[in-house]
Structures are given as structure tokens and as C-alpha cells.
Amino acid sequence: MSAESVEQLPVLPSDLTPEWLGAKLGHKIKSVENTRNIWGTASKLFYSIAYEHKSSEERPTNICVKGVFDPKMIEAQPWTVSLAQREAEFFSKIAPTLSNMIFPRGWWSGTSDKQGIAIMNDLTTEGCSFPPEVASYPVEKVMNGVQQLAGLHALYWGQSQENRPWIWNNYDPAMKFMCSFWDTVVRTPGRSPLPDHLMDGKRCNEALDRYYSERNPRFRTLLHGDTHIGNIYFTADGRIGFLDWSAFHFGSCFHDVVYHMTAMLTVEDRRAHEMEILDHYLETLHRLGGPKFDRHNDPEVMVEYRRSFMTNVIWLICPDGLQSKERVAALCERTVATYEDHKVIDVILGQPKLTII
């Protein structure tokens, strides 16, 4: 269930009353208890619910209400509202179309000019668990992750913002803005050291610009956009689910694949198994209705795959406070290894400049 109207949605936790929640969930609520909160650019407020009347309808008893519930943050960082709105739109417009992915069940979502709210299940009550700040996982887990990404990609293969104008690209501009401070950030005391070829901000930003402007349209689809280790969870039976859908946009399919793989695996496991993972992704993509690609005989596949490791750039220049220092350090190390193994900057800058129509 979703709503898009002139209604001004709650911007304070105190506004999430039993009456408001009951109206959105479609059942009169007797009482709610705020069990815990996770504060951030998008905060998650957790509630247990008791209803006035018995019902045969399925309805949640433990929910997570996600939105921006700090007016000072909205004033200081208004862009956080657009992220909350984007996630609410995922639950109302994209989630109902997906059958081959695992994500939290949504019960209601809506947007206003100053807010985006999604009401979803409290995953902890379903026996789900979440990765620690720094971790690595077996190849089988990553296989499960890219298999689900293939399900999303196959469903929206070849589509673009022209087909769905409301899905504007909020991801590329954010990355380009953060990378504009490259030379300062990478030289900040205490940051993970980078090899010399990644200390040149001008060259790296040129590569980023060309990566974004010259993505091969053969591989365009709808992306989750932010598939790193902090945006997944594990179901009670050990499968991966994907969280935080505030960055979905159209781009190259390999963006999701390499970003997920790099974050989840040790350098050694990624080096040993990445072609196996890529083949599993490509086979699943075709099985679920996407095109058939042959990385051995179609050179464009591997060029686009190698270029797509540029999407890991966030771990090289991640601002303090956006992620923990421990996570940034670990994923920076894994990212540097991918850049060196695949000669990412050289591959991007060494290609003839393309004009994408």
C-alpha cells in the first residue's frame, strides 16, 4: 500500500501515533510500544503493535518505520529527504514487481515534500541477522547475492529513465561531488594509504567522468545501486536479503555485481572465484529472461565488467562519518586490489571515447 499526496507526513517520532499508524495499516491500533531506534541519515524506529480487534487479515505486529525524523538534519542536509523519498517509492512502485529478490516486506509507504516514509517488517523478529562492520563471507553467499541481482536486472533489462522518468539518477552526482575532494581526502592523516596511481585526483576524476558518460548501453538495467556489505541481511535460513533501496537507478548491470562481490569477499577469495561468480550471474540473468552473454567470445562483456569496478571508488574517498573507519579501511584494501588486478583506470582512459546516444 502506498500514498503520494499533499499530506504532510510525520517528521518527528512523536507524530507516529497509534491513530496515524492505524490509518496507514488499515486497522485500529490499541497501543504501540517503541522498542528501539537506529538513528542516521534515514532513521529506523521500531514498534510493537497491539490491535483493537481480532482480524483474519494478515497484519504486522512488529514494524520498522523508516524516514528522516530529525528536523535539524533536514535543514542542514536536505538531500537526506530525497533518499527517504526514493526508498518509499521503491516499496510502492518497484517492490510489487519483484519476485526473484529478498527484501523487507513493506506494509505502507508514502512521500511528501519534506519526508519519505516506509513501514516494513522488523527483520529481527523474523530471525534475520546483519553483518558486522567488517566481515567476509564464503563464495556461496555471494553466488546467492548475484543470483538475486540477476532477477532484478532481467526484469528491467534495457529500460532507462526515458521509460520511467521518475527514476532520476541520484547516484552519479553524489559520487562525483564526493570525488571532487579527492586530493584532500586521500592525503588526510590516518586514512588508508593508496598506491601512487590512485593519488592523482585529476586523473581518477577523469576516469570517473568517463565511466559514467561512456557506460555501454548493451548492459543497461535497473540497479539496486548500493549493494555493499552494510546493505544486506541474512534470513533465518541463511539467504541474503537487500536493504536500503534509496539509490536505485539505471546503469550498467556490473555495477551491482562487482560492488557486492568486492565488499563481501576477501581479496584472495575474490581473485580465486570472481569468474565463477560472474558466470553464475550471467547464466542466471539469461535463465530469468535477460540476454545471453558470452564473456569468452564477446570482448565488450569483459571491458564493461572491468570498467565497472570504478563504482567501488567510494571506499577510496569515503568521508568520515558516512561509514565506520574499520569498514572503510577493509573495503579500501579490497577495492585497491580490484583496481590493480583489473587496471581499472587504464582500461577506462585507454578506451576510445564513446558518444552514447
- Burial string for 101-113 (b: 16+ CB within 10 Å, else e) reads bbbbebbbbbbbe
Q: Which domains can be identified in the chain, with CATH numbers?
A: 2-126 (3.30.200), 139-350 (3.90.1200.10)
Residue 150 near residue 98, CB atoms below 8 Å: no
77-86 confidence digits (pLDDT tens): 778 899 999 9
pTM of the shown model? 0.93
225-275 confidence digits (pLDDT tens): 999 999 999 999 999 999 999 999 999 999 999 999 999 999 999 999 999
Taking CA atoms, 69 is separated from 10, 29, 114, 119, 235, in Å, by 8, 22, 10, 14, 28
- Count how many residues are written for the chain: 357
Alpha helices (H) in 3-135, listed in sequence order? 18-25, 71-76, 79-89
In the predicted structure, residue 1 carries a pLDDT above the cut 80:
no
Residue 282 near residue 147, CB atoms below 8 Å: no
Q: Give the whole-number percent of the chain exceeding pLDDT 90.
A: 86
| Eight-class DSSP state of 162 | T
Q: What local confidence, expressed as pLDDT, does residue 79 receive?
A: 81
| Eight-class DSSP state of 313 | G
Alpha helices (H) in the chain, listed in sequence order? 18-25, 71-76, 79-89, 139-155, 171-179, 182-185, 201-213, 253-264, 267-287, 299-307, 314-317, 325-342, 344-350
In the predicted structure, residue 156 carries a pLDDT above the cut 90:
yes
